[in-house]
Amino acid sequence: MIKKVITGICALLMTTQAFADKTKGGKIDSLYVGNYWTQVHISRGTLAIDTNHCGDKSKTPAYFAINTTHPNYNVLHSTLMAAQFANKTVKLFVDGDDCAGQNNNYPRITHIWVTE
């Protein structure tokens, strides 16, 4: 039983590493909320994403996004708002193969890490 659990955790960690990119830490300087999405901009130009995302539409994205259809949208949105209000540093993990936001032009946020 323990061996299965450890194998499952290792597989999950490898999957997260293989499919998620991460931004460098930065403060949220704007949240742009539409009817079907929330877009986030991180200050100080601290974006660590330098690969093509969303079909070359955002090679160095200014915004990252979540759609309201995301099953964890309320938690992600609330976390972003709380981090912005508290002036906390965030790191965003994004899925480069799945886009979100206005016209689906921005990398989709999968995880949020709040620090400081």
The predicted pLDDT at position 55 comes to 64
Q: What is the mean pLDDT of the chain?
A: 75
Using a 10 angstrom Cβ sphere, with 0-12 exposed, 13-18 middle and 19 or more buried, the burial of residue 61 is buried
**Overall average pLDDT of the 96-106 stretch:** 81
Task: State pLDDT tens for residues 47-84.
Answer: 555 556 676 655 556 788 999 999 999 999 999 999 99
pLDDT above 90 for 99:
no
List of domains in the chain: 21-115 (2.40.50.70)
The predicted pLDDT at position 98 comes to 80
The predicted pLDDT at position 85 comes to 94
The string of DSSP codes covering 59-108 is: SS-S-EEEETTSTTHHHHHHHHHHHHHTT-EEEEEEEEEEEESGGG-EEE
Query: What is the dihedral sign for C-alpha 47, 96, 72, 63?
Result: positive
